[in-house]
Amino acid sequence: MKRIGISQKKFIHLFGISVYDGMFGPGQATMLMYTFLRNGATYLQSLAFTRFQTFISCTAAFITYSWPVNWIAIYYTFGSLIGSRLALRVAQKISTGQLRFILHSVTIALLIQLVIRVAFP
């Protein structure tokens, strides 16, 4: 497996993305994916690192906010686990070019949706 080189300056970006995730949430996975890809990670490595960071973040939130038992959090947990397993299996069967196209397409679609929501509240 190829090692990726992340300089100490990039850890500031990763920290900033994590703070953004804690405050707002949406888009953090896309930002993490682009950060890892720009630092030499393969698409599958980027996907794995992003899923791991999201898993840790969600686990911490689950532990923090699940008392008394929050049943919706349990459903989200199982859905997240199933979705991430499916994503990793599907990503192994698709070419890197197709995966990049999907990532860019979804990012553009989300940006368009955001602009429409802001322009037409």
pLDDT digits (tens, 9 = 90+) for 44-62: 888 888 888 888 877 777 7
- Residues 76-98: what's their mean pLDDT? 81
Q: Is the whole model's pTM more than 0.85, yes or no?
A: no
Sign of CA dihedral 14, 22, 73, 113: negative
The dihedral through the CA atoms of 85, 90, 96, 102 has a sign that is negative
- Strongest mean pLDDT among 20-34, 38-52, 61-75: 38-52
Positive or negative torsion for Cα 22, 24, 26, 30: negative
Contacts of 84 (CB under 8 A, 6+ apart): 51, 54, 55
Average pLDDT score over residue span 20-46: 79
